[in-house]
Amino acid sequence: MIEGPADRRMRDASERPRIGTDPVTALIVHPDAAERAALGAVLDSGERIRVVTLTDDGDAAVTLAHRQRPAVVLLDERVNAPDNRDLIQALARWSRVIVLTGAAEHSAIRELLCAPVRGCLVYGHFEASDLLGAVRAVAAGLGWLSPVAVAAATWQLRSAR
């Protein structure tokens, strides 16, 4: 059978993963109630993003991530988790983790990026649209770094030759 351009298009479309039907699910783990709610509102305002749970408890977050398998976990690095000393590692078993931090120093960011995170947003350096972009990119298997984090990361790459 001769395959015309139209056939090819149709086949490609059927093979493409069905982005756009299922919403990206997100779990928010943040110690501050007001900020947690604000982050949740921003994500819920995004098309095809659904916040499944919000919590301030790191250990509870691990259980929730295990049970609900959210596509993305948004984790503030100050969150406590007495039972999970390596909280990022524990969450990364079930979901893709984006870490939120107030640290802008190269060394601190470098350390965060050595944990199994897919993205790093630095407070004061991102807008609502960046938050949505980060969640979408990470859900799609890509990454996201705030400009300060990019500076820290590229500096680190250059310094180790």
Partner 1 sequence: MIEVLIVDDNPIVRMALRGYLASAGDVTVVGEAPDGRTAVTVARRLRPGVTLLDHRMPIADGLSVVSQLAEYSRVLVLTSDDADELIAGMLRGGAHGYLVHGEFDPAELLRAVRAVAAGEGWLSARGASVTIAMLREQAAREQEDAVRAEGTRARRERFGLTRREQDVMALLCAGHANAAIARQLLLTEKTVKNHLASIFTKLQATNRTEAVVRWTGQQ
Q: How far is the CB of 24 from partner 1 (least distance, A)?
A: 14
Nearest residue (CB) to partner 1, 10 versus 19: 19
Distance, in Å, from the CA atom of 5 to the CA atom of 112, rounded to the nearest integer, reads 47
Task: Count the residues of the shown chain that bind partner 1, applying the rule CB under 8 A.
Answer: 27
Binding residues among 97-126 for partner 1 as defined by CB under 8 A = 110, 113-114, 116-119, 125
Q: Give yes or no for residue 143 binding partner 1 (CB under 8 A).
A: yes
The answer for residues whose C-beta is within 8 angstroms of residue 7's C-beta and 6 or more apart is none
Sheet-wide strand order for 49-55:
49-55, 24-29, 72-76, 96-101, 119-122, 144-145
Q: Give yes or no for residue 19 binding partner 1 (CB under 8 A).
A: no
Cβ-contact 67, 52 below 8 angstroms? no
Q: How far is the CB of 33 from partner 1 (least distance, A)?
A: 30
The residue among 155, 57, 53 whose CA lies nearest residue 104 is: 155
Sole window of 12-20, 23-31, 35-43, 151-159 interacting with partner 1 (rule: CB under 8 A) = 151-159
Exposure b/e, 115-154, CB count within 10 A at least 16 = b? bebbbbbbeeebeeeebbebbbbbbeeeebbbebbeebbe
Q: Give yes or no for residue 151 binding partner 1 (CB under 8 A).
A: yes
Q: How far is the CB of 141 from partner 1 (least distance, A)?
A: 7
Which residues of this chain interact with partner 1, rule CB under 8 A? Answer: 110, 113-114, 116-119, 125, 133, 137, 140-145, 147-148, 150-151, 153-154, 156-158, 160-161
